[in-house]
Amino acid sequence: MLSFSDRPPVLLKWRSSTTLILLAVFIGVLVDTAAFSIAAPIIPFRLEQLGYESVGDKVGWIIACFGAGLIAATPIAVYVGSKVSNRQLLLLAGLLSMAGALILFMESSSFIAMLIARLWQGMSGTILWTFGLALVIDSVPEHRVGASLGTVMAGFSAGEAMGPPIGGVLYRHLGFRAPTVFLLILLGFDLVLRLAIIEKKTALRWIEKGVVIPGFSAPTYPPAHDEVQGTKDVSPAATNPEGAAEKGQLADSSASASTGSNLWRTTWRLVQDPRASVAIGIAMLYGVVFGLLDTGMVLYVKDQYGLDEQGAGLIFIAVVVPSFIVSPLAGWLTDRYGSKWPATLGVTTFVATYPLLLIEGPLPLFVFFLVLVGVGLSCVVTPTTHDLNVAAAATPGAEPAQVFALFNLAFSVGSFIGPICGGQIMHSMSTRNGFVTVTSIGTALVALAAPLVLVYTGGRLRCGVLRRERVETAT
């Protein structure tokens, strides 16, 4: 008879499933992004309510403090990620920290308190981003990485979509605290999911003890259709020698990664890879562009179309809703054809459509152009995160936590620079001229990066050869 400690956890199949893991990381990314974006439409009105002047300038600093927190926490996340393999514990700490930051922001009644709360939110978001994406890489087979990242990155888009409109509506009808209470409810739901998760490496230990988990798959374990036939036993005695040898090699590789070369030397080697460098640069550009847009667009639509906080929040839906379809599709295309062409299509679409926002037409036309901008941005994020994973696999000693901490750092730098620049520009110019300036800057920066995306994303471009690109895998 099995003792209690020998019994597998309740609902082991469901709790170790890739679906649950992706859902939990999706919600975590969504909450983090919503915490960032929900402030954009309500901060200007809140500051005016508190009696502050020079609102455009102060909005930029409050939004930028989120990025500053991300930057400050990233080196710590890189170090901790290389030492601690328990992603679940780190993610739980991140969730609790985010809850504290949200409560502080909810109770803020001064500009300084808002700055501190946003800084704390950014530091907490670093944990959710870095270790959430690392958990995905730890959980899915190589051939499903692109699609899985596409699914999770849809949470980024969902947060960007939900934050502004829900923030604007709740703020108008229920007051300043209501948007934060909404985020805390989402955070509680994500906490339940995190507590339920059983990581793949833990589930593998139960398989090695002879427990059958139908449909189980992991990077270190063959897909279920190859291993599980009906009620076939998956205990060590029933597995083939090749599988055991593969597990041993993977364990050796993991040990080498943990005890290998110096952490910072490994990071330096990683960023010297042009493929990784371009992906990191695109992440920073993404932060700059969204920072400029978040700061300038609320004031612009308020002045140009007379929208209040509710309308200004709803306008953001047009930017990010397309990504619910485009991000997973970009992940699927990346798995099938490589990351070069989805990313190139994304930057081309963005450069072609972003200047159209400057056309002084009716509001529906402005919204339509925002949808096109959202399509372009959504095509870029998933391929670049996939490229970072490929570059890390080819870099001895590199770990997923390091890789996505770098991605997070780059996005954070952009999220810090963009709002500050946007706020200063909108403060020093008329609303129309300021919006023209921030839009032109965003377009020019992405246009300059487009050739690098074409040449290096997905591997170096072979001139004169037009063929379907195969996804690279580490040898």
Tens-digit pLDDT profile for residues 307-320? 876 777 677 777 76
Instruction: Return the percent helix, strand and coil in the chain, to nearest 5.
Output: 80, 0, 20
Least confident range from 176-180, 200-204, 389-393: namely 389-393
pLDDT at 348: 92
Are the C-beta atoms of residues 398 and 349 closer than 8 Å to each other? no
pLDDT at 446 over 80: yes
Does 222 fall in a domain? no
* Residues 295-304: tens digit of each pLDDT: 788 778 888 8
Tokens of 196: 């339920």
Please give the average per-residue pLDDT across 101-122, as a whole number.
89
Does 175 fall in a domain? yes
pLDDT at 444: 93
d(CA 81, CA 131): 7
Does 209 fall in a domain? no
CATH number for position 274: 1.20.1250.20
Does 215 fall in a domain? no
How confident is residue 467, by pLDDT bands cut at 50, 70 and 90?
very low
pLDDT at 228 over 60: no
Does 273 fall in a domain? yes
* Residues 375-420: tens digit of each pLDDT: 888 788 778 877 877 877 777 767 666 777 777 778 878 878 888 8
Does 468 fall in a domain? no
d(CA 35, CA 107): 15
How confident is residue 447, by pLDDT bands cut at 50, 70 and 90?
very high
Please give the average per-residue pLDDT across 82-103, as a whole number.
84
Partners of 218 in the beta sheet? 221
The total number of structural domains in the chain stands at 1
pLDDT at 199: 84
* Residues 262-290: tens digit of each pLDDT: 556 777 777 788 888 888 888 888 888 87
pLDDT at 257: 40
How confident is residue 235, by pLDDT bands cut at 50, 70 and 90?
very low
Does 253 fall in a domain? no
Least confident range from 65-69, 119-123, 398-402: namely 398-402
d(CA 383, CA 329): 11
Does 221 fall in a domain? no
Supply the range of the domain harboring residue 277.
11-201+263-456
DSSP 305-338: H---HHHHHHHTHHHHTTHHHHHHHHHHHHHHH-
